[in-house]
Structure 1
Amino acid sequence: MLNLGKKNILGILIDAVDYEAAISFVFECAGKNRGAMISALAVHGVMTGVLDPEHKFRLNGFDLLVPDGQPVRWVMNWLYGTEMRDRVYGPELMRRICERAASEGTSIYLYGSTKPVVTSLAESLTRMFPGINIVGAEPSAFRKLNPDEKVALQQRIQSSGASIVFVGLGCPRQEIFAYELRGSLSVPVLAVGAAFPLLAGVLPQAPPWMQRLGLEWLFRLLAEPRRLWRRYLYLNPAYLVLVTLQRFGLRHFSPQGRPPATEVLVG
């Protein structure tokens, strides 16, 4: 088990952990009915916090931010010598947690994406892990929730008896969701993004060799060019430049963000 604590990557505090440490933390929280915020961050997630001080504040308040992308893992090794051998990929993390949850009888709740996707996800997880206890599978509202709707959502999750909540809303909506439910749910909430459509089988996954080489972004860009071209055209090069500045001490990145001025739950 690897857990070297949080490391400052461009001002975002990423945890140098492996799958075993991340899963152990999730089930420890679930077993103790303790709320926690967990997210899997790739380059896009990191850069979203770098460019938005309010979102940086949210991210650095998370209990666990795991290195979802290979470029994030490589940079942790380059800057801090962590010698991490693998990333902690959101879809794979969710798959492993669901596998253990099924074997131990731990209940899960699915929130996010569209109704067809979240329905397909529940069916897919049931096929992969017979006996898995899915106590709720709810699609995103794709809009901000008013205070009454927020309370009702909290109550639905709490009353379901869920021990672990998975959120698939995309970055940064899912991190905002987890942040704004902090303190109101006594369960770990995991923001896992593309894990929902990938595990549901409705979004193609990059082949293993592209994942190993950190080229998953290229696979996704080719699959969804109109939606993703701006993200990868600007953010990936910016990430490389800023990381180089940090590595050679040419720029310091403070982890201090700015508390959000307003909190309206994004559902």
Structure 2
Amino acid sequence: MKTVVSILGVKIHPLTMKETIDVVDTDYIQGRRPLHLMGVNADKINQCIDDPEMLTIVNNCEIVNADGASVVLAGKYLGVDIPERVAGIDLMQELLMLAEKKDYSVYFFGAKEGVLQKMLGNFEINYPKLKVVGHRNGYFSYDEVELISKDIANKAPQLVFVGITSPKKEYLIERFISDGINSIFMGVGGSFDVLSGTIPRAPKWMQNAHLEWLFRVMNEPQRLFKRYFVGNVTFIRRVLTAKKD
């Protein structure tokens, strides 16, 4: 694997999409090793700076991708070589294609039950040979976490996608791995909503122009305005300060 780099004290593996898939498959799925597959954007880096526990979780992850154009651009400004953005939703779909091709088992955990079922229905069309061994919506009490952990352990999926908001999903994944579950865990945030068709994804031209964040804010302004506008300003300020130092 390529030498790890750092943005504002947060480690990042400078991997392309293809390199990430290859490492996940060869080193972790075939190597039968658990993995917390992490993606960081400006918001996540801000979280890490403000929350030492989150920073520890991210920096202990075996693979950390740059899941944000702002991170790639910040890297260029700071002289850090990050080859490309590895968008979480795209990486999830690449892993689903890998799982279908190689008969790897998958488990989905998160979102509302209706959203989860719509997504699974879409996957029956888009990934007809995908081996889904389990699924669970993202609404539960603290007392149910142990039961969820046992359910995942009993079904022993090779890939687990966790569609829950941050920082809850990171803490849950760490809990599951500490329980001894030998799976590849990937937190995918709101990807279940997009892949179910509940929320649209930005058109390709906006993705290519690094404006996917703006499309998301336009579709969910109450939830995302503060994260992107206030958060991005904070991130930019921190990058500028780091450059001066």
TM, length-normalised to structure 1: 0.86
Q: CA deviation at 1:59?
A: 1.4
Q: Is the 8 A contact 1:70 1:213 kept in 2?
A: no
Q: Is the 8 A contact 1:37 1:189 kept in 2?
A: yes
What is the number of equivalent residue pairs in this alignment? Answer: 243
SS, match of residue 37 in structure 1: strand
Q: 1:205 aligns with which of 201, 207, 213?
A: 201
Q: CA deviation at 1:83?
A: 5.4
Query: Which residue pairs with 2:86 in the alignment?
Result: 88
Query: Which residue pairs with 1:41 in the alignment?
Result: 40
Query: Which residue pairs with 1:228 in the alignment?
Result: 224
Offset from partner CA, 1:33-91 (integer Å, 9 cap, x none): 2111112222112211111112111111111111111111122233234251x310011
Q: CA deviation at 1:11?
A: 1.6
* Matching of residue 20 in structure 1 with residue 18 in structure 2: yes
The structure showing larger relative contact order (alpha-carbon pairs under 8 Å, at least 6 residues apart) is: 1
SS, match of residue 14 in structure 2: strand
Q: CA deviation at 1:150?
A: 2.9
Q: CA deviation at 1:142?
A: 4.8
Question: CA–CA distance in 2 between the matches of 1:178 and 1:21?
Answer: 23
Query: Which residue pairs with 2:60 in the alignment?
Result: 61
**1:126-165 aligned within 5 A:** 126-143=124-141, 145-146=142-143, 149-165=144-160
Offset from partner CA, 1:117-138 (integer Å, 9 cap, x none): 1111212122111111011121
Q: Is the 8 A contact 1:117 1:202 kept in 2?
A: yes
Residues 115, 5 of structure 1: CA spacing in aligned structure 2 closer, same or farther, 3 A cutoff?
A: farther
Query: Which residue pairs with 1:182 in the alignment?
Result: 177
Query: Which residue pairs with 1:217 in the alignment?
Result: 213
Query: Which residue pairs with 1:73 in the alignment?
Result: 72
Query: Which residue pairs with 1:241 in the alignment?
Result: 237
Question: CA–CA distance in 2 between the matches of 1:180 and 1:9?
Answer: 26
Residues 54, 67 of structure 1: CA spacing in aligned structure 2 closer, same or farther, 3 A cutoff?
A: same
TM, length-normalised to structure 2: 0.93
Q: CA deviation at 1:164?
A: 0.8
Residues 126, 77 of structure 1: CA spacing in aligned structure 2 closer, same or farther, 3 A cutoff?
A: farther
Higher percent of residues as helix: 2
Deviates most, 190-199 or 149-158? 149-158
Q: Is the 8 A contact 2:156 2:181 kept in 1?
A: no
Q: Is the 8 A contact 2:112 2:138 kept in 1?
A: yes
Query: Which residue pairs with 2:104 in the alignment?
Result: 106
Q: Is the 8 A contact 1:106 1:133 kept in 2?
A: yes
Question: CA–CA distance in 1 between the matches of 2:208 and 2:150?
Answer: 41
SS, match of residue 135 in structure 1: strand
Offset from partner CA, 1:181-212 (integer Å, 9 cap, x none): 22321111011112211112111111122112
Q: 2:162 aligns with which of 157, 164, 167?
A: 167
Aligned-pair identity (%): 26
State the AA in 2 paired with 1:5: T
State the AA in 2 paired with 1:23: I
State the AA in 2 paired with 1:197: D
Question: CA–CA distance in 2 between the matches of 1:244 and 1:219?
Answer: 25
SS, match of residue 134 in structure 2: strand
Query: Which residue pairs with 2:121 in the alignment?
Result: 123
Residues 229, 81 of structure 1: CA spacing in aligned structure 2 closer, same or farther, 3 A cutoff?
A: closer
Offset from partner CA, 1:122-170 (integer Å, 9 cap, x none): 1212211111101112101254x23xx3332222112113111111102
